[in-house]
Amino acid sequence: MLAPKAQYNLGDAKKYFKEHLAVGDYYAEGQSIPGHWFGQGAADLGLNGITNSDEFARLCENLHPQTGERLTLRQKSTRTEMSADGKERETANRRVFYDFTFSPPKSVSIAALVGDDVRIVEAHEQAVTLAMNQLQTYAATRVRKNDQCTDRTTGNLVAAVFRHDTSRALDPHLHTHCIVFNATFDSVEQQWKALQNHEMFAAQKFVENVYYHELTRELVKHGYQIENKPRGDFEIKGVAPELIEKFSKRHREIDQKTRELLAREPEKADGNIAAIRENIAHKERPRKIRDLGLEKLQTVWAGQMTSVEKASLNHLIMEKPPVLVPDIKVVEQAVVWA
């Protein structure tokens, strides 16, 4: 799954790095999670390797990470809008960054983290990189000079990537946050400008499928079998639905809180339920647990499983993975096979 979310609040953006991105959903025995820079825009700004907090904070403030000078021209951070009660109020206007989060199906997280197959984690990271390369091609900026009102493709992003491995309920949940800053370099005007996200959001489903395709290709290569689902994603064959449900506690928590909210405010039932769930997921989070590493979590997960469930994880991989090289002679056959 690919889920994007915009961050408008500068203070929350900086806090997000320190309290979530750099530590994940538990405190891994005092260790931080090293993010890394991604994108042609990041390279153009002299950013490479591990993401540090000072560079991240400067970009949040719309400053050049090396010189501290203003990066993009637009700096107005608030706008006046009319609230539901008819009163004017100040609200955030500048998007600080976008959080594009890539998550595999739950069975993949279980096989990778509970089954302790590091090859799946590597496949996930490889798939995220490939998908982000595709997303970058849709980066654009607005053109408003000489009475123009168009968008211009820039093809470069400034992003920081962080991989996490649990949900807030401490279930196995492999996922990667790709923090895309609101800046891109316009090579025509030779300046940094605000990022236009329209085409990136329009391509969201395509980018998600690029991620899924690369991930499943690697899973099959490593001997796993795939079951496609009607909703457009997949699961690893052999991971029992009961086990998936067992390790989906956070999902159930959000479902329950959504039901409670709609019971209190039934008028919202006709609204955007997905947005309501997303808001609950971000605002109603349990406290993090300190001094808990992945090895301890794997012990906790093992304690929640039956002997049959444990044995099933040991038999997910086929002895001889299938060779996906079809005998294709015409275009129509290629389309059917794809």
Specify the pLDDT at position 187: 96
The tens digit of pLDDT for each residue in 159-186 reads 999 999 988 788 899 999 999 999 999 9
pLDDT digits (tens, 9 = 90+) for 26-45: 555 556 788 999 999 999 99
Q: What pLDDT sits at residue 1? A: 84
Structure tokens at 107: 């069975």
Mean of pLDDT over the chain: 84
What is the tens place of the pLDDT at every residue in 289-300? Answer: 555 677 888 888
Task: Say how far apart CA 46 and CA 235 lie, in whole Å.
Answer: 40
CB-CB contact of 222 with 123 (8 Å) = yes
CA proximity to 226, closest of 324, 125, 117: 324
| Structure confidence by residue, pLDDT tens digits, 244-282 | 999 888 666 666 667 666 677 777 777 776 666 566 555
Residue 51 pLDDT > 60: yes
> Could you give phi then psi for residue 7, rounded to 5 degrees?
-115, 120
What is the token pair recorded at 117?
């197959």
Task: Give this prediction's pTM.
Answer: 0.80
Q: Which two tokens stand for residue 226?
A: 């795939």
What pLDDT does residue 167 have? 83
Q: Above 90 in pLDDT, residue 72?
A: yes
Q: Percentage helix, strand, coil, to 5, in the chain?
A: 40, 20, 40
| Distances in whole angstroms, Cα of residue 276 to Cα of each of 47, 255, 257, 272, 315 | 36, 10, 10, 6, 39
**Domains present along the chain, CATH in parentheses:** 2-68+93-247+286-316 (3.30.930.30)
H/E stretch holding 140 reads: strand 140-143
